[in-house]
Amino acid sequence: MALLFTVQRTLVLAAHPDDDVIAAGGLIQRVVAARGDIHVVFVTDGENNPWPQRFIERKFFIEAGDRTRWGAMRRREAICSLARLGIGERCATFLGFPDQGIAKLARRGDMRLRDALRAIVEEFKPTLLLTPSSFDRHPDHRAISYFAHRAAPEATIATYVVHGSAPADRVAFRVELSDDEQRRKREAIECHVSQLALSRERFLSYAGQTEAFFKPEFDRVCVESYARERMTAWLHAAHVFFGIAPQVDSGVAPAPEVQEAARHMLEHRL
């Protein structure tokens, strides 16, 4: 599919550490290979992630300090993952907004995220802005899509779906990954050890042959009600709990040395 824009300066918005590589690990590699400029913005630290944390740390009650420590660890996993894709830490920004709390910000009329994203867009001047999609089942993703579209109404925007799917007629372009690109994407995903503990098969299934990106969603983004946020959050949780994942055979062998290095990082998080 011929592109009507350039990816020479690509800005990727990720709701949580791991969304960037899951959705666009192949595209990121293409930008790096073309000697383009890329920057990844992590809106939250993914700190409100209780079930993997309970499983790994063997504790049921998660307190504020535990979440802060978990979020710091997920930042380190994100840096490890970006390095596997050829990106240095200086190309990442962590905004630290509340995990599982972005939709609430929108309902309150709190525009701090919109303003932060607007400032980043104005400084970086992307030729392509990648943002989560309003079709995604995760409330954080949909709310970030709302803020991103409000922050950059003049930007060239493409969206991505991590949880669920978007209509086929909304596809803007696809990236077909080579075997080597799939291997590197898988290695980058494997840096997110905290997320693989309970969902390894689901996460690695994203290292497939194709990445799909969708048209801008100015016609869809909105402030959601609390009822809709909760309903879709439960739907997302059910899909995760029952192990529903993309049926993709990446054809790529695991990278045990990456997994071991990331596990070592996890064990020394303190």
CB atoms within 10 A of CB 259: 16
What DSSP designation does 6 have?
-
Q: Give pLDDT tens digits for 59-79.
A: 999 999 999 999 999 999 999
pLDDT tens per residue across span 215-248: 999 999 999 999 988 888 777 777 766 655 444 3
User: What's the topology of domain 9-267?
Assistant: Rossmann fold (3.40.50)
**Residue 3 in 3-state DSSP?**
coil
Q: What is the pLDDT of residues 96-105, one digit of tens each?
A: 999 999 999 9
Rounded CA-CA distance 128/117 in Å is 14
Residue 247 is predicted with a pLDDT of 40
pLDDT band at residue 19, thresholds of 50, 70 and 90? very high
Q: What is the pLDDT of residue 63?
A: 95
How high is the pLDDT of residue 233? 76
Mean pLDDT of all residues belonging to the chain: 89
Order of strands, sheet of 157-160, starting from the edge strand that comes earlier in the sequence: 92-97, 37-44, 9-14, 128-132, 157-160, 210-214, 171-176
Question: Does the structure show a pLDDT above 60 at 26?
Answer: yes
Does residue 40 or residue 270 have the better pLDDT? 40
Mean pLDDT confidence for 114-120: 98
Per-residue pLDDT tens digits for 170-201: 999 999 999 999 999 999 999 999 999 998 99
**First-to-last CA distance in the chain?**
47
Give the pLDDT of residue 199. Answer: 87
Integer CA distances (angstroms), 148 to 54, 142, 158, 191, 270, in order: 32, 10, 11, 27, 34
